[in-house]
Copies of this chain bind each other. A is one copy, B any other.
Amino acid sequence: MFVHIDQGAKTPIYLQLRNQIVAAIAAGELAPGDSLPSVRSLAGDLGINLHTVNKAYASLRDEGYLLMRGRAGAVVASPLRDSSVPHAAEAERRLIDGLTLLALEHKAGGGGREGFAAAVASVLDAVYGTGAGGGSRPVPSGSSDR
C-alpha cells in the first residue's frame, strides 16, 4: 500500500490518510473506477482504527473524490469537474481561500509577487511534470512532524 502514517505528526491521522489518497489520485496511482481497500484491511495494514479509516473515506466521499455504494466498497469517482457541480464549486472555493491565505502570509513576510509565482511554478513542475510526464510526488503532512 502507498500510504504511510506518522503517529507523532500534528496533522490528524484521518487527514494524513485523506491527503495521501488525494495525492495517489492526482498521481494516477488510483484511477476512476479503482477500488480502495476495505476499511478493516487498510486499518489493519496501517495499525490504526477502523473508524479512523472510515472517517477519511467519508471525507473523500463528501468532497466528491470517492463513491461508497453500500457493501460494494469505496471506488474512485470520475473527476470532480466532469460530475457534480456543487463539489466542483466547493473545491474551487477552497482553492481560492487556500491560495489567498498563502499569498497574504507571503506578502506579510516581505515576499513579492515574483517569489510567490516562482514557488507556484516549482510546485506545478513537481505535480504536473516539467513539461513531460510526471512520476510520484511526496505529500506534505500539513506541517512537518512532531
Is there a chain B Cβ closer than 8 Å to A137's Cβ?
yes
Whether A99 contacts B102 by the Cβ 8 Å rule is: yes
A54 → B minimal CB distance (Å): 20
Is there a chain B Cβ closer than 8 Å to A101's Cβ?
yes
Of all chain B residues, the one with the shortest Cβ separation from A140 is B97
**Which stretch from A39-47, A67-75, A118-126 is at the chain B interface?**
A118-126
Whether B98 contacts A81 by the Cβ 8 Å rule is: no
Contact partner of A98 (CB less than 8 A), chosen from B79, B98, B109, B112, is: B98
Is there a chain B Cβ closer than 8 Å to A48's Cβ?
no
Whether B94 contacts A109 by the Cβ 8 Å rule is: no
Whether A120 contacts B108 by the Cβ 8 Å rule is: no
Is there a chain B Cβ closer than 8 Å to A107's Cβ?
yes
Collect the chain B residues with CB atoms within 8 Å of residue A65's CB.
108-109
Q: Mark A108-146, 1 if CB is under 8 A from B, else 0.
A: 111111001101101110111000000001011111100
Q: Which 9 A-B pairs have the closest CB atoms?
A: A79-B110, A97-B140, A80-B109, A26-B107, A25-B108, A26-B108, A81-B110, A99-B123, A103-B127
Given contacts A19-B101, A94-B143, A99-B120, could you give 18 more A-B pairs where the C-beta distance is less than 8 Å? A22-B108, A23-B104, A26-B104, A26-B108, A80-B110, A80-B111, A81-B109, A81-B111, A95-B106, A95-B116, A96-B119, A96-B123, A99-B102, A100-B127, A101-B140, A103-B124, A112-B128, A116-B124
